[in-house]
Structure 1
Amino acid sequence: MQSPDSPSDPPADRSGGRPRNGHVLLAPDRFKGSLTAPEVARHLAAGLRRARPDVPVVELPVADGGDGTAESAIAAGWRRVEVEVSGPTGRPVTAALALDGRTAVVELAQASGLRRLPGGRPRPLGSTSLGTGQLLAHAVRLGARRIVLGVGGAACTDGGAGLVQGLGGRLLDSLGKELPPGGAALRSLHALDLRGMPDLSGVQVVVAGEPEGTLLGRNGTATGQAGRRGATREEIRVLDLGLRRWADIAEAASRTASRDRPGSGAAGGVGFAALAFLGATIEPGIGLMLDLLGFAERARGAHLVVTGEGTLDVRSLRGRAPIGVARAAARAGVPVVAAVGRRGLTGEQLRKARIQAVYALTDIEPDAGRCMRQGGPLLEQLTVAIADEWLPPRRRARPAGVYGM
């Protein structure tokens, strides 16, 4: 199989003279709708071990702050902690967080994500981030003093109001009654009672996500994101009005101006609440997660890094996991190839991203539906080409005294 970025390269020995006794580090993200990141890593490992049983393989599934972030930490050896919290529509769900000493990884998608919507039906006006606040509160009770909050995959557009409620805050209308959940109800917000919130002054919260997007306006979270969560044009207007009311009262209560800060619009405005009430900072998700998972240490001495995701295209260039992995591997001086479901980048784009070659399921199975259904076995089949081009078999030592061909 020829790699798309250098179609004239010969398939033999792509090692570039690197030592052949190094390990292969597998650092893929999920294949959305098909395989989790740990499942992708397991299938890649199974295929490579069959193709090159003499080459050590290390699995390190990764995520960039979205769906699968907690699982990637758990796969790297962090402790899984499960707790029942409120889902985005109020139904209870069992969510997991990852804990390593006094550091916790809390993933919004575990509690308030699109995949938690009953039957997959969107509830743009009423979905809440309450469960994410409950997860954060649980991490604090467990003794966490540094919390990484992954905010991808949100089902809610409530400005993080539910997160504040999950931490013990109360949102009150003009009669002193608790507001129902969701962004639409924020139009009736009259006061905030924060007396029930824990003291978080000793807790560092870092939001894992791109520091871009603001809470309000033409480029705000309602206008830019709520439509993708099922909101109609009128519902988007309702949500934006609620978020404006929320911003006015929340900023007065927290004594911070956060609505226009980059990243305040993340996850339907959860970024805003994290900035205003948790004193959070926002960092690019994949870089943060690679540091937490010890990527640099695991890449040391590697012969090859294999990353990947379901679709590698121009959206991937905006901070998704494979690009972050490739850049981190380049700093370690290790070549990177990607195993993906489908590729949509040019050779020049791949070179700039520091990815040496891409191997796509659609190269061996044109039927996209079958790629989704049979992603695991197809990935194992794909590793044959990776092994042939990047992991040439070791030559057996010639017995002493034997000469000639």
Structure 2
Amino acid sequence: MVVAFDAFKGSLTALEACEAAARGVRDAMPGTDVSLVPMADGGEGSLDALLARGGERRSTETVDAIGRPALAHWALDGQHAVIELAQAAGLPQVEDAPLRPLEATTAGLGRVVLAALDEGATEVTLLLGGSATTDGGTGVLRALGASLTDASGQPIADGGGGLAALERLDLRDLDPRALAARWRFVTDVDAPLTGPRGAAAVFGPQKGATTHDVVLLDDALGRLARVAAAELAIDERSIADVPGAGAAGGIASALRALTGGEIVAGGVWFAALAGLDDAVVGSALVLTGEGRFDEQSAGGKVVSVVHDAAVRHGVPLCVLAGAVDARAAAAMRVPALSIAAGAASLADLQRDAADLLAAGAASVARLALR
């Protein structure tokens, strides 16, 4: 059988979740052959899932989304750098301070990209998820040498709010290594840059944006798309309307257009990397899950990717999660069980997640494999 879990945020990495489920299965059904396939979708914890399969961990001193010192971890495999945005511009990093949706910047992520280029990387994969920013990736662009100025030729302020004054994007001093590199943007959403499904409207409130802020940020990101399109002599829609361009506050918009990079669905990319289909073929059962299984789980998240693999190969599947939305389970037509043993606080669930997941996996194994 196969255990293919995403991380349980705040309690278990993807590998730890797989190990806990495998322990429960083996305790319940001794001798069962269990394949562990740690999964991710580009959000927080994706780097750990990747490093569980190999690669060298690197560290870079940088800043977080509000400019405080931070240490970002990333992976280098040959000349391929894999950088998790959440390490340098993540929301969890700044939850101890008042959120600053208009000023938060990806400048710290840009420093990590520069460090990777200094290490000889010729391929850069950005894992986009869990961001505290809505700056359209302009912090990264600035770190790479781009200049963003207002009508008087003065540098605009950092963050998405500053983009409201943007008149010119000057790329003449851009680091040539960035242009020569192959770029990949791994996302867990397919949102466009602007509009009702865009970066500001959908994700801005999670980062502290008020209703007024959302309108300002959406207009500002639209301005970025127009100015960047003019500089690159391309259609504005090829920046703003690309699925995934709105991920992580719009990082995969102008930067993607500039570098010719590709946007890929995180869950599908990790599944291929991890050999999920090969593991599922011929197995008796697949267990998957995450901290919370809800309606968002169906949109390219790990659970939906594992579900699709199980369906392709005709293997039964069960979802185990900390919290389960019955509507999501009904929509995906999958059995889904909460690992909570009765009423419990979030702190209790996080503390006992490994044992609870092991117990849940044991119960399902007894029913499915007997």
Q: TM-score, normalised by structure 2?
A: 0.88
| Structure 2: distance between partners of 1:213 and 1:380 | 35
Q: Is the 8 A contact 1:88 1:111 kept in 2?
A: yes
Residue number in structure 2 paired with 1:122: 99
Q: Specify every segment of 5 or more residues in structure 1 that has no aligned partner in the other structure, as ranges.
A: 1-23, 393-405
Equivalent residues of 1:71, 1:98 under 8 A apart: no
Which structure has the larger Rg? 1
Report the count of equivalent residues: 364
Q: List aligned pairs for 1:128-167, cutoff 5 A.
A: 128-167=105-144
Would the aligned equivalents of 1:60 and 1:76 in 2 still touch at CA under 8 Å? no
Matches within 5 A, 1:265-304: 265-304=246-285
Relative to structure 1, the CA distance from residue 118 to residue 302 in structure 2 (aligned partners, 3 Å threshold; closer, same or farther) is same
The answer to whether the 8 Å contact 2:42/2:188 transfers is no
Q: Is the 2:43–2:188 contact (alpha carbons within 8 Å) kept by the matching residues of 1? A: no
Q: What SS does the corresponding residue of 1:27 show, helix, strand or coil?
A: strand
> Which residue among 85, 89, 93 is the counterpart of 1:108?
85
Aligned-residue offset at 1:28: 0.5
User: Is 1:234 aligned to residue 228 of structure 2?
Assistant: no
Q: Secondary structure at the match of 2:254?
A: helix
Equivalents in 2 of 1:243, 1:93: separation in Å?
A: 27
8 Å CA contact 1:130, 1:166 repeated in 2: yes
Deviation of 1:308 after TM superposition, in Å, equals 0.5
Q: Which moved more, 1:153-162 or 1:374-383?
A: 374-383
Match of 1:196, SS state, is: coil
Q: CA deviation at 1:71?
A: 1.2
CA displacement, residues 376-397 of structure 1 (integer Å, 9 cap, x when unaligned): 22112222202212333xxxxx
Amino acid of the residue matched to residue 248 of structure 1?
Answer: R
Cα shift at 1:315: 1.9
Q: Deviations over 1:307-342 (max 9, x none)?
A: 101222222111110110121233344432222112
1:308 aligns with one of 262, 273, 289 = 289
Question: 2:32 — aligned with what?
Answer: 55
AA partner of residue 349 (structure 1): A
Alignment match, 1:244: 222
- In 2, the alpha carbon distance for the partners of 1:63 and 1:211 equals 13
Note the alpha carbon deviations across 1:245-291, whole angstroms, 9 max, x for none.
32232222223331233322221111213322221222221001111
Q: Deviations over 1:352-403 (max 9, x none)?
A: xxx4x333213x32324332332122112222202212333xxxxxxxxxxx
Partner Cα distance (2:31, 2:195) in 1: 57
Paired position in structure 1 for 2:331: 349
Match for residue 171 of structure 1? 148
What is the identity, as a one-letter code, of the residue corresponding to 1:331? R
Helix, strand or coil: the match of 2:240?
A: coil
Cα deviation per residue 1:95-137 (whole Å; 9 max; x = unaligned)?
1222333433222112111112151531101101122223333
**Match of residue 55 from structure 2:** 78
CA–CA distance in 2 between the matches of 1:225 and 1:85? 24
Distance verdict in 2 for CA 1:80–1:330, change over 3 Å: farther
Question: Counterpart in 1 of 2:184?
Answer: 206
Report if aligned partners of 1:173, 1:190 keep a CA contact under 8 Å in 2.
yes
User: Shift of residue 72 of structure 1?
Assistant: 0.8
103-112 vs 239-248, which moves further:
239-248
Aligned residue in 2 for 1:360: 338
For the 8 Å contact 1:60–1:75, the answer to whether it is kept is no
Partner secondary structure for residue 150 of structure 1: strand
With over 3 angstroms needed to count, the CA separation of the structure-2 counterparts of 1:201 and 1:186, relative to structure 1, is closer
Q: Secondary structure at the match of 2:252?
A: helix
**Which of 358, 372, 376 is equivalent to 2:354?**
376
**CA shift at 1:68, angstroms?**
1.1
Structure 2 vs 1, CA of residues 348 and 213 (structure 1 numbering), >3 Å: closer, same or farther? closer
Structure 1 pair 334–105 and aligned structure 2 pair: CA distance change class (3 A): farther
Counterpart residue type for residue 302 of structure 2: A
Q: Which runs of 5+ in 2 are unaligned?
A: none
Distance 2:198 2:357 in 1: 39
Distance in 2, matches of 1:120 and 1:44, equals: 36
TM-score, normalised relative to structure 1: 0.81
**Would you say the 8 A contact 1:146–1:205 is kept in 2?**
yes
- Of all paired residues, the percent bearing the same amino acid is 35
Q: Structure 1 45/219 Cα, relative in aligned 2: closer, same or farther at 3 Å?
A: closer
